[in-house]
Amino acid sequence: MAALLSIGEFSRLTHVSVKALRHYHDLELLSPARIDPSSGYRFYATAQAPTAQLIRRFRDLGMPLERVKLVLTATDPLVREKVIADHLRSMERQLEQTQTAVASLRQLLEGGGGPALDVAFHTPATAAAVTATARVAWDEVFQWLPDTLADLRRQIGSDAGLRGGPDGALYSAELFESHVGEVTAFIPLSASAGHVGDTLPQGPLAVAVHHGPLRELDRTYAALGSFVAERGLASPTRTAIRENYVIGARDTNDEHGLITEVCWPVLSTTGEEES
């Protein structure tokens, strides 16, 4: 009969904690070879050690447990290889994001300042739009917004003539200040759409164009917000800040190819403080 090990002995053998082994059992990821019916103690076979170590290595690579389970239970090698390959691509994207963040950090530490800024002033014409509004937590915006914009695109269908501009969003002052607040996703409609939608907020805007990853968008915000504040142009009405996704994530897989217009509410479109 094969030797059975207590959960503690198996933990020492595999370098997987007892807590983790119990969790893996609950998830049916790695079940004990035997459970004592009277005491409930878990016992593992030595032959299960490679599986435990495989799980630990996948976890060291940051693979979610549901994906680990897919790898371990897949009967088709192609399915298993695809799950692993997808995770490795995800890791590569994370590495690229980390490298970009480090480069940005170094630039800030070296006094690189904000990005070069070319500010345009304009007041958008009255425009109808299909919209969706929700109160969203800061960390949930990047999930809520793409899903909501996809729903809005389904509403207007595939007729390009209905669209009056790029996808966009309005972010309330409360969202920035409390990291929970109202966000409105919108798609502008053309004048010929013949559709009565919601009307986008009106008023003068200072507009700066951000090129590249959205996680670097705060630098353009800082540069544009400083530009507006230093000229005494900031609107006192706490109007929502608008973003237009000229080239968004649905248009390109290269985050460095993203183009976002940041539209800051101002008092005047002349670029001068009004008396």
So where are the chain's domains? 4-73, 120-265
3-state helix, strand, coil in the chain (%, to 5): 45, 25, 30
Report the range of poorest mean pLDDT among 87-96, 167-176, 209-218. Answer: 87-96
Q: What is the pLDDT of residue 253?
A: 86
Q: How many CB atoms lie within 10 A of CB 24?
A: 21
- Whether the per-residue pLDDT at 195 is higher than 50: the answer is yes
Domain 4-73 coded CATH 1.10.10.60: no
Q: How far apart are CA 187 and CA 88, in angstroms?
A: 35
Paired sense of beta strands 168-171 and 198-199, if any: unpaired
Name which residue leads in pLDDT, 151 or 194. 151
- Residues 97, 101, 104: CA angle, nearest 5 degrees: 140
Average pLDDT over residues 232-242: 89
- Name the percent of the chain lying above pLDDT 70: 92
Q: How far apart are CA 15 and CA 9, in angstroms?
A: 10
Q: Are 146 and 167 in contact (CB under 8 A)?
A: no
Please state the φ and ψ torsions of residue 216, each to the nearest 5 degrees: -95, 5
Q: What is the pLDDT of residue 275?
A: 36
Token couple for 251: 């248009």
Token couple for 209: 């164009």
Read off the pTM: 0.65
If we measure between CA atoms, which residue out of 105, 103, 159, 156 comes closest to residue 129? Answer: 156
Average confidence score pLDDT of the chain:
88
Q: How far apart are CA 146 and CA 44, in angstroms?
A: 45
Domain 120-265 coded CATH 3.40.50.1000: no
- Whether the per-residue pLDDT at 251 is higher than 80: the answer is yes
